Structure formats: C-alpha cells, structure tokens
Amino acid sequence: MSFEQQICDQIPHLRRYATALCGDPGAADDLVQDCLERALRKRHLWRPSGRLRSWLFRMLYRLYINQRTSAPVRKEQPRADAGLDQTVAADQEDHVECQQALEALDQLPTEQRAALLLVALENPGYREAARILGVRVGTLRSRLSRARETLRQERDRPAVRRRTTALKRVK
C-alpha cells in the first residue's frame, strides 16, 4: 500500500479527533487538511518502523496547539443551533445530561481536554498517547486523572449552581 493510501486510511480518525478538539466541523476539516498537507510535504521524516497514525496524530495536535497560541484572539463563532429554542421536554433528561457533560468538557484546560479526547476516542495505549501529545506517560496520566476528576465534580454539582455559573460566564 502506498504512503498516500495509508494516510487516506487515517482521515476518519484524524477528523474525529480534530472535531472533538475544535468543536467546529469546519475548523476541524481545516486542521485535518493542514495536517495532511504537512504529512505529505514531510513524508521523508516518517520512519516506517513507527506507527503512521501516531505520527499523524502528533502532527495534528501540534498544529492545533500552534494555531491556538499563534492566532490572534478569534471571535467566538455562533453555533449552528444558536438562536433555536433551547427548551427541553421533561422526558429528555439524558439529552440535558449529555449537553452538560459536553459543556463541562469544553471548560477543561486544553492539555487535559486533548489527552482525555485522544484516549477516549482513539484508545491508544498510554505510551502511544503520551508520544502523540509529546509528554511523559506520568504527565499524561496526571492530565487524565485531573480531567476525569473535574468532570466528576461538575457532574455531581447541583444543576442550579451549574446554571448560575454558566449565566455568569455569558455576562
């Protein structure tokens, strides 16, 4: 199988992780495209003895971090569902809990969020995930632990306090 075909096989995995990181499908597609372009340009740096997926994920993550730190502060894009009635019927508690979990995930620090999403979505081993993120295994485990604990605490907080905190952030 050619190098290009091997890269094409990884696109769905890259898109899933990029979408989770960016939260916006358009930005995720741009990030994946930048990653693929860089991978093709730098193919001479890939070692066939290593895993191509790890190499691509590390490249994608580095591009994501670079874009976040070097780009001017971007105005927040309105979400696709912005302006729609957000009322929820009483029988949709699972949907509300899921939405609250996503909001809590968005509040995590970038490093913790990236580690948690990588491990949860792609399920690499801790060594491989640490290599992708460019950190030590202990650092990865620490980030995962802190992220999981933060999400647990957020889940256990009373809903009234969560709504009040969210309203304060909006103002």
pLDDT at 25 over 70: yes
CATH of the domain at 64: 1.10.1740
**Residue 32 to residue 37: CA distance in whole angstroms:** 8
Classify residue 146: in a domain, yes or no.
yes
Residues 97 and 124 in one domain: yes
What pLDDT is recorded for position 23?
A: 87
- Sequence-distant (6+) residues with CB within 8 A of 3 are 43, 46
- Average pLDDT score over the chain: 82
Enclosing domain of residue 165: 90-171
**Mean of pLDDT values over 99-114:** 87
Q: Is 41 exposed, middle or buried (0-12, 13-18, 19+ CB in 10 A)?
A: exposed
Higher-confidence position of 34 and 50: 34
Q: Which two tokens stand for residue 49?
A: 């003895």
Contact 17, 122 (CB under 8 A): yes
14-18, 46-50, 164-168: lowest mean pLDDT where?
164-168
- pLDDT exceeds cutoff 60 at 160: no
Does residue 118 sit within a domain?
yes
Q: Quick one: average pLDDT of 106-112?
A: 91
Please tell me the distance from the alpha carbon of residue 34 to that of residue 5, in angstroms, as a whole number: 17
Percent of the chain predicted with pLDDT > 90: 52
pTM flag (> 0.85): no
Residue 146, domain CATH: 1.10.10.10
Can you say how many angstroms the Cα of residue 144 is from the centroid of all Cα atoms in its chain? Answer: 13
Q: Collapse the DSSP code of 21 into the 3-class scheme (helix H, G, I; strand E, B; otherwise coil) and give the result.
A: helix
Together in a domain, 70 and 22: yes
**What six digits make up the tokens of 66?**
């670079």
pLDDT in tens, 134-145: 999 999 999 999
CA atoms within 13 A on the CB side of 26: 4
Has residue 80 got a pLDDT over 70?
no
